[in-house]
Structure 1
């Protein structure tokens, strides 16, 4: 009975967090759409689509399913952790270095600074997602829901603050950066009870661990 009640509580928290996150997201987008100039709406659309893709890929990638559904040793988790961090750094470098070229191709000068800001996300996300997957494995859904809600609220607060300072399409990205940063820190805080990375890594070991994902 206790297990069933805990599962119901976890499910309730997950549902409530999803509803709140969607509601806050709609509110944030509505606000930005009202204050931005017409020529900035295209950039806002690009930013939103990019951030949604990043969030979706982050949840599906970085070996999350491998962590959630398989028993890995601390050494294997460490190899996976550092491999994902390095992969994030590589994506960051590609986006950051190529931001000017991409902006010229799209004929959107403002796109360069957007891509540079978005590239930083790939340094942050792998760490948080790793610990999130561990919390999912340990069925810590209440903590996950709390983390998601609090980080989204923090992101909204930063968005509103930057809108108050200088309204621009970058406000959405500042808010997202704040959200993923808070989310990463809280997930790391909770997740370190189950995992603390060892300072070891090799490409061969990383490939072997990832190969288990099939």
Structure 2
């Protein structure tokens, strides 16, 4: 049996490094976004948003669920990795060809002539991305998130600097196109350099079929999820002017910087860790319980905090021309609060090998979202109605995910909700406190955000300590352990 304490420490340490990785990379992209938002027009971001769904769906097809399947496998040979590598290259080449041919028709659908050449350039990133999948899987299986952090930060920084230069020179939307392609290309080069992995000339048909049985269901689930994650770009881009999509796109990007950093960090660290306990039901349940409580403890106050300062946050960072994004941002924060909980619940299904159930749930949840979107369009509720449909679906879907994952690990819906309530109500209290503080402050964006933010953090952690919340104790002890470990290393280095 694995040493539970050791795995727990590695998991929390991995979470911290993974969070630093994603926060740093998202932070760099965030800074670049702030600069570009003041140089480019909302229409430019709207044009990129129109293309997003095509590229995102294509990247899901390339991966085909094989990344998760490979991570779940305990032992994978070089020949088996090579099998998936060659399949990814083949699929990406076919998809690039299909998108190249379809570009004029997609451009006509959105009634934007310049989309054709944009799609043909951006879709080449699909081929580039296919080369990075196996090296990235290798690092994830080894929990080497610090290495990934450096790769992501370096790639994002270099691409961001160049895109700002192009925007300043008047290249408009093409600065965003180059940024996306350059980021993917640099990440791929760095991943291959670090892992030093090379394929062999082998294609294991039996291994491919076995992984495809598991991965194909994740592929369909991923395609459905990716399509619906980008459906708002499709609908808003088709029904409204490009500027309106630009307002929504940047509101969504700001939310993603905050929410996806946490969600992706939790998902990519916890999946390989939970997979290690797939044959030990008790340890799996215990680890999952701690992780879901930790996720709620971090995410609830984060999103509520940003929601409460949105009136100052958006115009300060993006400029007054983006005030139309404020309402969209607030609604998206409500939906994003529970993203990590969705991710952890779905990780359990993958760990238990229930790819069939994973697919079933995606169909159920997306059918629900389709009905809600349909109702919004039927009653002409506009963009706010569309986003509200997503918020409602997110919360209803959590109950669906929780119900099915609970059956796999004997951790009932009632037990899960009971464990989440302390963090939820404490986050609400913090949000109310931050709003009260804001009412006493002058109408200066920077001062309001600074004072409200600091007061919210102090309030939340002080109350956590007073109430002796389990989640706070875990985070505090682990951060102290890492800090003291670094301190000891520095002292030894100085002594040497």
- TM-score, length-normalised on structure 1? 0.83
* Distance in 2 of aligned mates of 1:94 and 1:212: 26
TM-fit CA distance, 1:160: 1.2
- Structure 1 residues 202, 118: CA separation in 2 closer, same or farther (over 3 Å shift)? farther
Alignment match of 1:109 (pick from 85, 99, 113)? 113
* Distance in 2 of aligned mates of 1:143 and 1:42: 34
The aligned residue for residue 171 of structure 1 is 175
The aligned residue for residue 32 of structure 2 is 28
* Distance in 1 of aligned mates of 2:180 and 2:58: 10
- Structure 1 residues 106, 20: CA separation in 2 closer, same or farther (over 3 Å shift)? same
Equivalent residues of 1:99, 1:115 under 8 A apart: yes
Equivalent residues of 1:58, 1:129 under 8 A apart: no
Structure 1 residues without counterparts, runs of 5 or longer = none
Matches within 5 A, 1:33-182: 33-37=37-41, 39-47=43-51, 53=56, 57=60, 61=64, 63-70=66-73, 71-182=75-186
Instruction: Give the total of aligned pairs.
Output: 211
Equivalent residues of 2:107, 2:113 under 8 A apart: yes
The aligned residue for residue 187 of structure 2 is 183
* Distance in 2 of aligned mates of 1:149 and 1:13: 13
* Distance in 1 of aligned mates of 2:65 and 2:86: 11
- Structure 1 residues 55, 68: CA separation in 2 closer, same or farther (over 3 Å shift)? farther
TM-fit CA distance, 1:187: 0.9
TM-fit CA distance, 1:56: 7.8
SS at match of 1:168: coil
1:19 aligns with 2:23: yes
Equivalent residues of 1:80, 1:209 under 8 A apart: no
TM-fit CA distance, 1:49: 5.8
TM-fit CA distance, 1:139: 1.8
TM-fit CA distance, 1:8: 5.2
118-127 or 200-209, which deviates more: 200-209
1:210 aligns with 2:212: yes
SS at match of 2:123: helix
Q: Deviations over 1:87-145 (max 9, x none)?
A: 11111111112212221222111101110111101111011122101111122111111
TM-fit CA distance, 1:162: 1.5
- Structure 1 residues 49, 26: CA separation in 2 closer, same or farther (over 3 Å shift)? farther
- TM-score, length-normalised on structure 2? 0.38
Equivalent residues of 1:62, 1:84 under 8 A apart: no
Report 1 or 2 for greater relative contact order, CA contacts < 8 Å, sequence distance ≥ 6. Answer: 1
